[in-house]
Chain A
């Protein structure tokens, strides 16, 4: 059974919708800014923040500006609306939703919690009502009219990629005809504090794969693709889902193994199952967060899989920041766009290859006929996922 990608939807710091994102990337303009405008307390680190307040987002999503949905839900709704509209009406199809998130409604919970800690009778309950991860998924399904199988995945930074894997399985097994899959996450003091405490936030714009990289920039956003059984398509699809695998690094709760075992296994198993040779991969959208540990580990996995013929690769996190659970969705959207338009997105802020591998990513936007694109997502808990998309 062939599974096609019939729609894409994206919200990132580059803007709302694919057009805004494409325009910014073609101008090589990063969306990362020195300071957050909307966080409830200041942060010293640059962020990839979606440049609209919650009331604006709600209005754009067709909700009242006094809507109490979490920002996570609002970003998700905007991206899913775009993806579904792009895919076509499909009213006779059983449409499902698999959404990834790592923070859920944490951005509102931390506002609540500050008041709650001063007095347990304080704190507005509506701020904590959407705390759990399922709340954003259920709000998206309700607002976008999705009535089929709906669930939520949270495996840290590989959540959205895993949602896409789960969606493909639901279609293969006949549980849905079409599934919107991806993820949504927002900036929060919780994650800024968390990654800050691990000393992996860069005070400057992140430099994925560069020898002098010094950490990641947190971002926020949502990215979803519509996977659909080929015989139900209403229009020419953008690309096909050619496979994907999840593997565990089984090395450490947060750090990646120096040899990138999990990442290697995820990529390797994906190619093997899909029956695609390493030499057929035309582009890799790498995880490439900009941390010392991730980029070295991922580079080693790439070298191990591809030998001295590592295909053109880049990390798009210099544009969007690391959007955590949404990253795999946003990067799936970019991977599909790459296949559709025959273009490889550049890796920003790269100056000098790391000594250990000497790998050099694509640094200028490049046109090329692409057949197979691989996208990596690697998360805490050693969670590694590779997705493979094909032109035909």
Chain B
């Protein structure tokens, strides 16, 4: 159990990236997804002071910083591994975003990155909740990001992934607290990894605690590893508006089902 104080996604950014990362050299080195995710974290915490007040930063990504990975592979192929520019290698590391967030406020707190395909966000959420439960942290930033690149899209197209689904990308961050505050929007009561898919009826029977809540079982066509984080953000907004409970069910191409249960305060 933990409380949600804020949620930000790549769709509702209000700060210019120049405000988020004032250092022009640093900004130039950052890929689109690193900028997008860092900006979402900045938005969620309210800026540098909000980041400085965090006790833990937990990020998640299914495929990481793909553009930089591809750029570095291309360089190796083109040059035979000689005279390589290290920037894309540095930026391709999976914990780049978590590190950039820490750097913005020189925050030396716990900094973790989960890379467990479509369960990355749920892994980060679990880590955050357990830290709050154990009292190791009181304010935790948890978030997830994935980027869509032409190469990744094309390779997955050759593998047959887009016959029924559509590709996507995004960045979502949420600020979690152990106790309810005046700003709390909702609470997370459960995060579960399921061993097999569940129907809407099964989700309701197993996870719903009230009759007027909702079960979000139907999935749209958009599929990418951290897609569940965006559905989480959408559900938080509905709970904030008054829905008493939402059981958010996710799966990834019919596999790796998870459930997040959100409740009103």
Contact = CB atoms under 8 A, between A and B. Distances in A.
B115 interface: yes
A116 B107 contact: no
Interface residues of A, number: 65
Nearest to A100: B115
A247 B94 CA distance: 17
Nearest to B85: A197
A152 B115 contact: yes
B159 A132 contact: no
A180 B179 CA distance: 32
B110 A134 contact: no
Interface stretch (B13-21, B69-77, B163-171, B238-246): B69-77
A133 B115 contact: yes
Interface centre among B57, B90, B154 (most CB of A within 10 A): B90
Interface in A252-281: 252-254, 261-262, 265
Nearest to B159: A125
Interface stretch (B1-9, B35-43, B98-106, B202-210): B98-106
The binding surface of chain A is classed by DSSP as mixed
B84 A196 contact: yes
A254 B72 contact: no
B189 to A, nearest CB: 15
A248 B109 contact: yes
A50 B108 CA distance: 36
Interface stretch (A2-10, A107-115, A215-223, A350-358): A107-115
> How many B residues touch the partner, as a band?
35 or more
Interface in A5-50: 41, 43
Interface in A89-116: 101-102, 104, 109-110, 113-114, 116
A307 B230 CA distance: 49
Given A170-B130, A381-B99, A382-B102, A250 B74 contact: no
Contact of A248 (B62, B107, B116, B117): B107
B108 A381 contact: no
B127 A166 contact: yes
B103 A253 contact: yes
B76 A110 contact: yes
Given A170-B130, A253-B103, A134 B117 contact: yes
A134 B99 contact: no
Contacts of B155: 116, 125, 128
Contacts of B74: 113, 117
B80 interface: yes
B90 A110 contact: no
Given A153-B115, A246-B111, A265-B108, A190 B73 contact: yes
Contacts of A306: none
A317 B96 CA distance: 25
B99 A43 contact: no
Interface of B: 57, 62-64, 69, 72-77, 80-81, 84-86, 89-91, 93-96, 98-100, 102-103, 105-117, 119-120, 123, 126-127, 130-131, 133-134, 151, 154-155, 158-159, 193, 195, 225
Given A190-B89, A249-B108, 16 more contacts: A110-B76, A116-B155, A132-B117, A134-B116, A137-B116, A151-B119, A155-B113, A175-B130, A189-B76, A190-B76, A193-B89, A197-B85, A198-B89, A248-B102, A253-B91, A253-B103
7 contacts: A128-B155, A132-B62, A132-B225, A152-B120, A173-B134, A193-B81, A253-B100
Interface of A: 41, 43, 101-102, 104, 109-110, 113-114, 116-117, 120-121, 125, 128-129, 131-135, 137-138, 147, 149-156, 162, 166, 169-170, 172-173, 175, 189-190, 192-194, 196-198, 245-254, 261-262, 265, 379-383
**Ordered nearest first, which 3 A-B pairs have the shortest CB separation?**
A381-B99, A194-B89, A154-B94
